[in-house]
A and B are shown apart, each in its own frame.
Chain A
Amino acid sequence: MSDKMHIKLKVNGEDREFLAEPRELLIYALREHLDLTGPHVGCDTSHCGACTVTIDGKSVKSCTMFVAQANGAEITTIEGIGQPDALHVLQESFREHHGLQCGFCTPGMITRATKLLEENPDPTEEDIRFGMAGNICRCTGYQNIVKSIQVAATEMNSAKEAAE
């Protein structure tokens, strides 16, 4: 009964178009239509944050948005944040400070952290823990994730100062 819709998105700076049923969840649309497998399907119940992407400037759990809702939106996934040969400061910092073990939650963590630091470039430890509360990690115990974000924030701030 429901026909496919013509979906247009701007993903990681590129215009993308495809046909999808409105009921498809954004996370599956990104992974299966656009081959962006960085955002992960974790809990599929909007708890874990592994599917976090940035949509029109908001951190969103893409398992809890229909692709139809996102039609026309601008989306950033982990693929648009860094590349294996050009890591984002946050990615470097997670690697350096052991902010991951298995790595499954990491794309969501990094994507959420980019937005957190954009809104609050100089967060306290409490700000980080509160701002990252929608992302679950079962390996690290969070200590090193917090540290990775703190160090990245400091580095990003000094780079900004140096540029001014």
Chain B
Amino acid sequence: MIPAAFEYHRPADMAGVIALLEEHGDDARVMAGGHSLIPMMKLRMAEIPHLIDLQDVAGLKGIAVAEGRVTLGAMVTQHELIQHQGLANTAPILREAALVIADPQVRYMGTVGGNVANGDPGNDMPGLMQCLDAEFTLVGPDGQRTVAARDFYEAAYMTEREDEEVLTAISFAAPSGGYAYEKQKRKIGDYATAAAAVILQKDGGTCAAASIAMTNLSDVPVWSDAAGEALTGTSVDAAAVSAAVQAVLDDIDPVEDNRGPVAFKRHVAGIILTRAIQRAWGRA
């Protein structure tokens, strides 16, 4: 498959990237690992006259864990997320999620920034970042701003990011409590039929707080406040879990595709969420 021709740019800093985005507007697009964008370009579903490769841009790499906060450069790869010991200790849910993304080769190239910025409902990191209440840093011609992951996604491939902005970093408070990332997929490398990110706080035998987000069950990731509420104050017994599942089923809006009809996806969503809650509670 041969994509449409493009002009290739590899700037060394953000100023260079922003200048290119301002000059070429809609005709330009940044690329991180390229493992979402290049397949789209090969299929000619994306035509990009000016491709801006971020690989040489200073300051987009690196994982920082300090003072109770985790900051990930946009160009951190899934492979690096998995390998990083400090991150595995501080936010093990990230490693659990990254391990079920794609395959080894794709994880060497695929980046966390590309995963969250692309806006593909199938990507795993957006839902996880909503569960963690992460913030995304966007840099553009007018400077820098942050947007909450829970406010970032508008529709499939449509986000709060303006055309002339670049998502440069992701940051979130180091999570506490029990966690689980549970994903049902048809095969290695597939997107989720349904996936759930769950973090639970336990106080004695009671759930003190809960954060629940679902992936690939709507055109955006679904962080379900109601599902969290359904668990909070309970002992996470069968009735509470069933109420949380019902709350999620009210919030999702899956469509039929080659992963199955709507009824099947709703069924799988309930099972995956139940498993995630149980695993997270067991670790809380």
Please report A residues at the B interface, Cβ cutoff 8 Å. 1-2, 5, 21-23, 25, 44-47, 49, 52, 58-61, 64-66, 68-69, 71, 112, 116, 130-134
Interface centre among B10, B105, B109 (most CB of A within 10 A): B105
Please report B residues at the A interface, Cβ cutoff 8 Å. 1-8, 10, 34-35, 38-39, 41-42, 49, 51, 53, 55, 79, 102-106, 108-109, 188-189
In the assembly, what is the distance between CA of A102 and CA of B181, in Å?
Answer: 38
Closest to A2 in B: B5
Closest to A1 in B: B5
Q: Could you say which residues of chain B place their CB within 8 Å of the CB of A2?
A: 5-8
6 tightest Cβ-Cβ pairs between the two chains A and B: A134-B103, A22-B8, A58-B108, A2-B5, A68-B8, A134-B105
In the assembly, what is the distance between CA of A116 and CA of B108, in Å?
Answer: 12
| Given contact pairs A61-B105, A134-B188, A21 touches B5 in the complex (Cβ within 8 A) | yes
In the assembly, what is the distance between CA of A112 and CA of B34, in Å?
Answer: 20
List 13 A-B residue pairs with CB atoms under 8 Å apart, sorted by A's residue number: A1-B49, A23-B2, A23-B3, A23-B4, A23-B41, A58-B79, A59-B108, A60-B108, A65-B34, A131-B104, A133-B103, A133-B188, A134-B102
Q: Could you say which residues of chain A place their CB within 8 Å of the CB of B189?
A: 46-47, 133-134
In the assembly, what is the distance between CA of A69 and CA of B102, in Å?
Answer: 21
For the complex formed, measure the closest distance between the CB of B103 and the CB atoms of chain A, giving whole angstroms. 3
In the assembly, what is the distance between CA of A60 and CA of B10, in Å?
Answer: 20
Q: Which of A64, A71, A132 contacts B35 (CB 8 A)?
A: A64
Q: Could you say which residues of chain A place their CB within 8 Å of the CB of B51?
A: 22, 66
- 12 further A-B contacts with Cβ under 8 Å, apart from A22-B6, A45-B1, A134-B106, are A1-B49, A2-B6, A2-B7, A22-B8, A25-B42, A45-B42, A49-B105, A65-B109, A66-B34, A68-B53, A69-B34, A134-B104
Q: Is B5 a contact of A52 with CB atoms below 8 Å?
A: no
